[in-house]
Amino acid sequence: MNETLEGTVISIIYESADGYTVAEIEAEEPTIVVGNMPGLKPGERTRFFGAYKNHAKYGTQFAVQSYESALPHDLNDIVLFLSGGFIKGLGEVLATRIVEEFGEDTFDVIENDHRELTRIRGISGRLADSVHEAIKEYEQKKYVYSELMGMGLTARQATAAAAALGDAAAKLVRENPYLLIEHVRGIDFLTADRIALQIGIEECSPFRIKNGILNVLHKVLAQGSTYVHRKRLIPHVAKNLGVAAAEVDRALLMLVWEKKLVLKKYYPDQQAVFLASAYYAETRCAARLFGLARAQEPNRVRNLESLLKKQKKAFSLTDEQQSAVRAAVENRICIITGGPGTGKTTILKAVLNILGGMGLTCSLAAPTGRAAKRMQEATGTQAATLHRLLEYSYDEDEYNCYFRRNEENPLDADAVIVDEVSMLDVYLFHNLLKALPEEARLILVGDADQLPSVGPGNVMGDIIESEIVPCVKLTHRFRNAGGIADAAYDILNGKMPETGDGSFEFRECSSALEVRELLCAEYEAYTKKGEDVQLIAPIKRTDLGTVALNAAVRERINPPKTGKAEIVFGDRTFREGDRVMQIKNNYARAWRNDAELALGEGVFNGDIGTVQRIAAGTVDVLFEDMRRCEYEIQALSELDGAYAYTIHKSQGSEFDVILMPMLYGAQPFLTRNLLYTGVTRAKKKVLIAGSAATLEYMVGNVWQGRRATVLKRELMYLGRLKNGKVD
């Protein structure tokens, strides 16, 4: 329920750089208000809209959604306002003299005849100019914030819009509210559309229709596809917006002319519609991959047969593994795919030995920090995340994120080896290919049976299915691979998993409460044994989703304790000692590594850390790779608990013990490859608790939502073109 609170600002207790403010106001009784209130000054008479909430540590506060403020009228409040510290050189003594001289006309004099201030002892012409400019700037900002909040933006959204669009923000947003989608995090098409209709933008406005089209294509990207058919897109958008199909088609062609969209005919009766960025990412990936696949043999390996024999003897390589090693060293590009226990790590070691013996430098990388760490431990060679390898950076002046490594500044390596390729989306893969040196090898390794990337594209699947790039599929499993590998292969073959060594265990439970209690108890027991344990679940929002499991485990593992600080943000509580995850890419987030005396920027979706300290409104998080970051209150939206997270989030990671709930009924998303991905995250033990019927359903559900992508099609087209077989 929205409530109103009116009063005079007494003091500013805390204000962050992005406008988050804690202030004390004088209303019927002194009250603490919290929220985005940029530029709030002592002495202002303000009306706040929001709701009271009870903070565990600080008591009752008023959480502000929006507010209205005005210059003070009371003489004492005017003194308080002018001496609040935002006008350099003007303290309480001089402010009192000004008010004694001009009384209720003080602001009129400052705005219209500010040189009159020099009549007052202690005020120079320069200070008079400073007072005038400060008040003028204050009123301009207040006008912008007031206008934006009057259109329906919250104070936080108004702050972000003003920061991005400047003093003209209110004018620009009133003309085209859909600008907010691009410039304000958290504002989607529906929010911008509500604001637009509220301020009188017509339903058939080209701004509205074009952004309605872009909204659908961004949703398509979020679901993993890179395009949608024109004949499906037009009626869908027309129906959703309540406009004529012809108007949507006209707006679509305008977007193509503006080079925001691409239309491509792949069949006589079908046109695909792409966001321009997605189309160019896929087609340029295809062109570079095809070039690599058809390139002349790189840095010819002398005495290859002799070297292979040495590696075979050193690592007891099978014929299949030798084929993989040969493909990796003889070709400019190759892809090696296989499940757990097929010897991918051994192959990489042999490849590194051969290339290293030739004096070639190799860069190893993976999509996530955990995957890179695992790769490094397995091979004994330094590995990095792809973002770090490509030197992801943030340009504060341009508000732009970019990779320092690209065509003009390629990687300094003779070979690049990437693990967990199933996780690569087409955008990241495109940037990797751009940074690959002209003569370098690219070796891609992964498990094609795992879930596809969270981001758009089907990179690994499309490359393999195109049959353009040399590919080795590993099928031989080693006897010492362990019971986890046996269980995983049973699942792939549609069989209920069984292991003789107890590494896979299922426990039947009759209720969600029973499952939750069992998994929490097991998590606690394994933690006390010093095991690396992780809870993973198919979904977030149910009684057995990651949100509920996180809260339940945290209360057992890290309960409240005197002296252990905590902070509440929305519906989340962060406590010292908590295991947390970064859930949004933030390329500008500053970090430091005390062990390496290093500084840098960039914290990425999926990074895991621990809350070290909470003090002065900030949360200090130490990530697993020893990067340390400080989060102000408003930035806590980037963090979530990490005692439990989704199976999708677990990709690229490996743990001693995996715990999974399975009590959801027959849901379409409960698929075989989801279960397979979850099981293969474990090194020693998998424990599933729930319903045998659900587990059976997942083993039998081979449905995989087919992504609409063109990387495979473009690769095959280039292959036919090369062979003169294009129709």
Burial tier of 239 (Cβ tally within 10 Å: 0-12, 13-18, 19+):
exposed
Any residues with CB less than 8 A from the CB of 306 and at least 6 apart, and which? Answer: none
**Helix (H), strand (E), coil (C) string for 274-296:** EEHHHHHHHHHHHHHHHHHHHCC
> Using CA atoms in the order 574, 578, 579, 584, what is the torsion angle rounded to 10 degrees?
20
Q: Which helix (H) or strand (E) holds 584?
A: none
Task: Give dist(CA 72, CA 164) in Å, integer.
Answer: 29
**Residue type, position 409, single letter:** N
Task: Give dist(CA 517, CA 61) in Å, integer.
Answer: 35
Burial tier of 320 (Cβ tally within 10 Å: 0-12, 13-18, 19+):
middle
Consult the annotation and say whether 343 binds a ligand: yes
- Indicate the SS3 state at residue 70: strand
Consult the annotation and say whether 680 binds a ligand: no
- Both tokens of 563, joined, read 């002296």
Consult the annotation and say whether 570 binds a ligand: no
How many CB atoms are located within 10 Å of the residue 402 CB? 15
**Residue type, position 65, single letter:** Q
**Helix (H), strand (E), coil (C) string for 209-225:** HHHHHHHHHHHHHHCCC
Strands 45-55 and 261-267: unpaired
Q: Give φ, ψ of 427 to 5 degrees.
A: -70, -45
Yes or no: say if 549 and 516 are a contact pair by the CB < 8 Å rule: yes
Task: Give dist(CA 25, CA 72) in Å, integer.
Answer: 13
Consult the annotation and say whether 344 binds a ligand: yes
- Both tokens of 145, joined, read 């914030």
Any residues with CB less than 8 A from the CB of 654 and at least 6 apart, and which? Answer: 370, 374, 681, 682, 683
Burial tier of 59 (Cβ tally within 10 Å: 0-12, 13-18, 19+):
exposed
Angle at CA 315, nearest 5°, toward 311 and 317?
80
**Residue type, position 685, single letter:** K
Task: Give dist(CA 68, CA 46) in Å, integer.
Answer: 6
Yes or no: say if 331 and 470 are a contact pair by the CB < 8 Å rule: yes
Residue at token pair 């929010």: 191
Consult the annotation and say whether 283 binds a ligand: no
Task: Give dist(CA 407, CA 537) in Å, integer.
Answer: 40
- Both tokens of 411, joined, read 């990687």
Angle at CA 143, nearest 5°, toward 138 and 147?
150
How many CB atoms are located within 10 Å of the residue 391 CB? 17
**Residue type, position 380, single letter:** G
Task: Count Cβ neighbours within 10 Å for each residue of 207-221 and write b for 16 or more, e otherwise.
Answer: bbbbbbbbbbbbebb
Which string of DSSP letters, residue by residue, matches 287-334?
HHHHHHHHSPPPS--TTHHHHHHHHHHHHT--HHHHHHHHHHHHSSEE
DSSP 8-class letter at 166:
G
Strands 441-446 and 333-337: parallel
Task: Give dist(CA 486, CA 127) in Å, integer.
Answer: 79
How many CB atoms are located within 10 Å of the residue 686 CB? 25
Residues making up the annotated binding site for ATP are 341-345
Residues making up the annotated binding site are 341-345
